[in-house]
């Protein structure tokens, strides 16, 4: 079932959903399931699965020379989506990225997903390769999420890369895209960023999922700005509890977000990470309560491989 139908069927009730990461290469999928199992109590109608592109690794050869190769540390997004659907009988949303994919590889991944009965995709530019300063598209790939979106919209109309295919079955993907309450790091300003977000929605994106934020006001203002800009699809808030002191610097650097002064002040007073985790959970519960009160479609939790804090937050709310 499509994300957009889950949101409609909720009739204004806020849902509980989450995003998970595929396990590191070699890890057993049972570990992933044991992380998800407790969260099933809160009946998530769908789970997002991130996509992680390849990284460069260097191996020392005889004589001291370094050999460069690429590896994907967290493969398996498509397989995990199918496994979750099969195991829990709920929907999944694989993230599909431009980076590292040619148009044909994208098409083939989408064909796999279509055959597996996956009805949703979240379309993204994708992160740059870790050791590279900026995102570089494949020679025959997409640069922006909007270009990827065009390909999926065409497939939804039965138009594949080989436009002469006579029996091309239309896919039926519900399409989500990313939005940034605190602006994407490359955008010169929020207004320009919103221009491109609107382009994605006008081209066929049916909902938006936000980057994480710790200050609800940023989300509320973002939704207002989107509505003023003519973006009228559901805007799903993405949230995550703070779980360690190190995140006070890592999260702003990685995701280009601010952490509110009040939260930083309290976190700095904590004597260890266990105390920060308690603070983070309490903060996230308050954030969630306010978001639910405002009638957000779903609270979308970034689990980042840890379900325990999410469980404790959800237990207070759902
Ligand atoms: C909810 C969410 C989930 C994510 N999941 C993943 C994941 O699974 N894997 C992963 O690698 N990364 C993921 N990311 C990170 C994301 O890939 C990066 O933030 C990326 O840098 C931008 O992706 P986007 O789809 O928003 O890009 P785009 O929509 O392509 O925009 C990228 C930048 O280009 C600008 N822009 C857009 N279109 C144009 C245009 N036509 N001309 C000029 N400028 C333009 C935008 O304003 C923005 O600054 C996720 C982010 C979010 C918010």
Question: What would the pLDDT profile of 110-165 be if each residue is shown by its tens digit?
Answer: 999 999 999 999 999 999 998 899 999 999 999 999 999 999 999 999 999 998 88
Backbone angles phi, psi at 301, to 5 degrees: -95, 130
- How confident is the model at residue 221, as a pLDDT? 98
0.95 surpassed by pTM = yes
Helices 145-156 and 103-115, interaxial angle, to 10°?
50
**Mean pLDDT across 13-24:** 97
Distance CA 160, CA 179 (A): 27
Nearest residue to 30 (alpha-carbon basis) of 84, 75, 77, 78: 84
Question: What is residue 62's predicted lDDT score, i.e. its pLDDT?
Answer: 85
Is the CB of residue 33 below 6 angstroms from any atom belonging to ligand 1?
A: no
Q: Return the pLDDT at 165.
A: 86
- The larger pLDDT score, comparing residue 166 to residue 266, is at 266
Q: Ligand 1 centroid to 268 CA: how many Å?
A: 32
CA atoms within 13 A on the CB side of 92: 28
Distance of alpha carbon 122 from the chain centroid: 7
* Nearest one of 318, 308, 300 to 46, comparing CA atoms: 300
Gap from CA of 93 to ligand 1 centroid (Å): 16
Length of the chain measured in residues:
318
pLDDT band at 63 (very low <50, low <70, confident <90, very high): confident
pLDDT of residue 50: 98
Q: Assess whether pLDDT exceeds 90 at residue 218.
A: yes
Per-residue confidence (pLDDT) for residue 131, from 0 to 100 = 87
17 lines ligand 1 (CB under 6 A): no
pLDDT computed for residue 167 by the predictor:
82
| Residue 186 DSSP label | T
- Atom number of ligand 1 nearest to Cα 185: 49
Residue 133: count of CB within 10 angstroms of its CB:
7
Check whether 239 has a pLDDT greater than 90. Answer: yes
Query: Can you tell me the distance from the alpha carbon of 109 to that of 100, in angstroms, rounded to the nearest whole number?
Result: 12
Task: Judge whether 19 counts as a catalytic residue.
Answer: yes
Higher pLDDT, 59 or 287: 287
**Distance from Cα 254 to the centre of ligand 1, integer Å:** 13
User: Residue 52 — very low, low, confident or very high, per pLDDT cuts 50/70/90?
Assistant: very high
Rounded to the nearest whole angstrom, what is the distance from the C-alpha of residue 125 to the centroid of ligand 1? 4
Q: Is 312 in the pocket of ligand 1 (CB under 6 A)?
A: no
Q: What percent of the chain has pLDDT over 70?
A: 100
Ligand 1, atom 3: closest residue by C-alpha? 178
Hey, which of 178, 179, 193, 255 would you mutate to test ligand 1's pocket, going by the most ligand atoms within 8 Å of its Cβ?
A: 178
Q: Determine the pLDDT at residue 59.
A: 87
Burial of 188 per CB tally in 10 Å (0-12, 13-18, 19+): exposed
Regarding the beta carbon of 39 and ligand 1, being less than 6 Å apart is answered: no
* Mean pLDDT of the chain, nearest integer: 96
CA nearest neighbour of 315 among 287, 291, 283, 281: 281
Contact 130, 55 (CB under 8 A): yes
- pLDDT for 217: 98
According to the model, what pLDDT value does residue 318 have?
96
């Amino acid at each position: 079932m499509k994300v957009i139908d889950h949101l409609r069927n909720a009739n204004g009730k806020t849902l509980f959903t989450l995003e998970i990461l595929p396990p590191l290469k070699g890890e057993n999928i049972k570990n992933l399931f044991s992380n998800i199992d407790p969260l099933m109590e809160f009946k998530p109608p769908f789970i997002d699965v991130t996509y992680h592109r390849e990284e460069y690794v260097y191996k020392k050869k005889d004589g001291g020379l370094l050999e460069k190769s690429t590896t994907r540390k967290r493969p398996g997004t498509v397989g995990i989506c199918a496994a979750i659907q099969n195991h829990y009988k709920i929907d999944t949303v694989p993230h599909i990225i431009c980076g590292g994919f040619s148009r044909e590889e994208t098409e083939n991944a989408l064909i796999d997903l279509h055959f597996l009965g996956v009805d949703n995709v979240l379309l993204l530019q994708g992160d740059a390769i870790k050791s590279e300063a900026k995102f570089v598209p494949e020679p025959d790939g997409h640069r922006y999420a909007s270009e990827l979106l065009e390909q999926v919209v065409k497939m939804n109309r039965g138009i594949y890369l080989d436009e002469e295919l006579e029996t091309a079955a239309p896919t039926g993907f519900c399409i989500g895209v990313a939005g940034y309450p605190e602006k994407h790091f490359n955008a010169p300003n929020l207004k320009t960023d919103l221009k491109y977000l609107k382009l994605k929605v006008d081209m066929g994106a049916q909902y938006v999922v936000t980057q994480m934020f710790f200050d609800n006001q940023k989300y509320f203002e973002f939704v207002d700005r989107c509505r003023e800009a003519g973006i009228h699809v559901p805007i799903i808030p993405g949230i995550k509890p703070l779980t360690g002191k190190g995140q006070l610097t890592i999260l702003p650097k990685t995701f280009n977000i601010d952490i509110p002064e009040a939260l930083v002040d309290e976190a700095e007073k904590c004597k260890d990470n266990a105390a920060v985790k308690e603070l983070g959970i309490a903060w996230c519960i308050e954030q969630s309560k306010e978001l639910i009160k405002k009638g957000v479609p779903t609270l979308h939790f970034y689990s980042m491989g840890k379900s325990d804090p999410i469980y404790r937050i959800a237990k207070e709310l759902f």
